[in-house]
Amino acid sequence: MRDNDTINLVLLGSTGSIGRQTLEVVDKYPERFKIVALAAKDEVDELKRQIIRYKPKIVAVDDDYTYRQLKDFCPAGVEVKAGIEGMCELASLEEVDFVLIAVSGAVGIKPTLAAIRAGKRIGLANKETLVVAGDIVMQEARARSVQIIPVDSEHSAIFQCLKGEEKNLKKIWLTASGGPFREFSLQDLARVTVDMALKHPNWKMGPKITVDSATLMNKGLEVIEAHHLFGVDYDRIEVLVHPESIIHSLVELVDGSFIAHLGVPDMRIPIQYALTYPERLVSLASPLDFFALKALHFAKPDRVKFPALDLAYQAGKTGGSMPAVLNGANEVAVGAFIRRQISFLAIPAIVEKVMQKHTPLVKPTLDDILAIDAWARKEAEYLVLKEAN
């Protein structure tokens, strides 16, 4: 971050949970940040409120219908773009210093690459980008010396714990709350409803990531993300269930030391750290009260009740195009569950069946990945229909 200068910021996914919390950080430090551009899917009313408040130069939305609605609304001087191409244009604007990518799903890949190719500093809150195309994205970032700062609480924690210790790293420990169903039996899990799954015990998140947390798929995706962000083999990435979500992750060093990152479960902390890195500012989050903590608990994840975690490890270790299949199938299955078309336990079952049908490419191109992503989604949609009927 440049001292005493305003940071020109592009926020992709401004109406989602991460996007709205990012704007809370901007509101706390208006002298530090200028919103140059905003992008959202189709949440028109919320985006209109953001346009009035932050006066961006340019906005982008997902489809032509939403584009027309916004075009009629926006005042003179505010450009409106549509589709992934629009987001890529926002991510490449010449005057932009920082691009925070908080869209959900594989839609984040192309804007991330556009920001890298434009030499922008990136805050990445979209794990699917690295899950699906991590080899391509990280290779581009290294080639152009572009810094990608993780916004996920776990990866932000690792990023902070590793400073100056990279050569001493033995293992990464990703903590997981275990979700709302960690004490459930398989019989209980068969009766999980959408309303139950959307009540995360600790974090305020969007519906897709909340369901992923309940299945432990989110933690599996984070394992793949950590592999790419930190260049660590899967055998050196461990998942640790920690229900209180106070320790956000740990690194184990070769001398037997562990370095942990602790704090209240509030996403505004890692968001602000990414925006201001390497500087630290006073946060909106409440301080951690050690005297109020009764205990911290730890456990191994139950891989029988929550098979999604092993599916993610399997996809990551297979590599190539398999993580794209995992992610695409999961997005479809989770969407179907939220629409009450399939059961909670059907989510990992559908993902596994689609993975079994795929013969992975070892070094896929971006076009290969996008085509395989589309194939995986169609296969998952077919299985959803079978399950629903």
Binding-site residues for 1-deoxy-D-xylulose 5-phosphate, please? 127, 153-154, 177, 200, 213, 218-219, 222
β-bridge pairing 258-262 and 247-253: antiparallel
List the beta strands (DSSP E) in 159-198. Answer: 169-176
Mark the binding-site residues, compressed into ranges: 15-18, 126-128, 152-154, 177, 200, 206, 213, 218-219, 222
Residue closest to 122 by CA, chosen among 34, 3, 206, 9? 9
Map tokens 């399997």 to a residue. 314
Give me 190's structure tokens.
């068969």
Mark the binding-site residues for NADPH, compressed into ranges: 15-18, 126, 128, 206
Residue closest to 352 by CA, chosen among 319, 373, 379? 379
Give me 280's structure tokens.
């630290």
- What would the DSSP string read from start to end of 358-382? ----SS--HHHHHHHHHHHHHHHHH
Helix (H, G, I), strand (E, B) or coil at 267: coil
Mark the binding-site residues for Mn(2+), compressed into ranges: 152, 154, 222
List the beta strands (DSSP E) in the chain. Answer: 7-12, 33-39, 58-61, 79-82, 98-101, 121-124, 148-150, 169-176, 237-241, 247-253, 258-262
Give me 25's structure tokens.
């950080």
Say how far apart CA 14 and CA 39 lie, in whole Å: 6
Say how far apart CA 261 and CA 275 lie, in whole Å: 18
Burial degree of 280 (CB within 10 A; 0-12, 13-18, 19+): exposed
Q: Which amino acid is at 186?
A: L
